[in-house]
Amino acid sequence: MKSRPAGQVTFPSGRVFHVDLALTWADQARGYMGRREILPEEGMLFVYDRPGVRKFWMKNCLT
């Protein structure tokens, strides 16, 4: 799988999440589809160029 840009998000509580950045429509559509494991401190940050309400459908993702 092609690697994505990555970063980290730190909350005021000090908790840190390591995130993959979904910058393109293709990255956002693929999301974590097919990934076998997502650790509690991992996630994906969907980046958009303007504010708006978004809908997500998480096909073939871990439950």
pLDDT by residue (tens digit) across 21-63?
Answer: 999 999 998 888 888 888 999 999 999 999 999 988 877 776 5
Query: Would you list the domain boundaries of the chain?
Result: 1-63
- pLDDT of 15 > 80? The answer is yes
- pLDDT band, very low/low/confident/very high, at 11 (cuts 50, 70, 90): very high
Query: Cα(52)–Cα(36) distance, rounded to whole angstroms?
Result: 30
d(CA 45, CA 48): 10
Confidence band for 4, pLDDT divided at 50, 70 and 90: confident
Tokens representing residue 59 in the block:
């096909």
What is the reported pTM? 0.76
Name 24's Cβ contacts closer than 8 Å, sequence gap at least 6. none
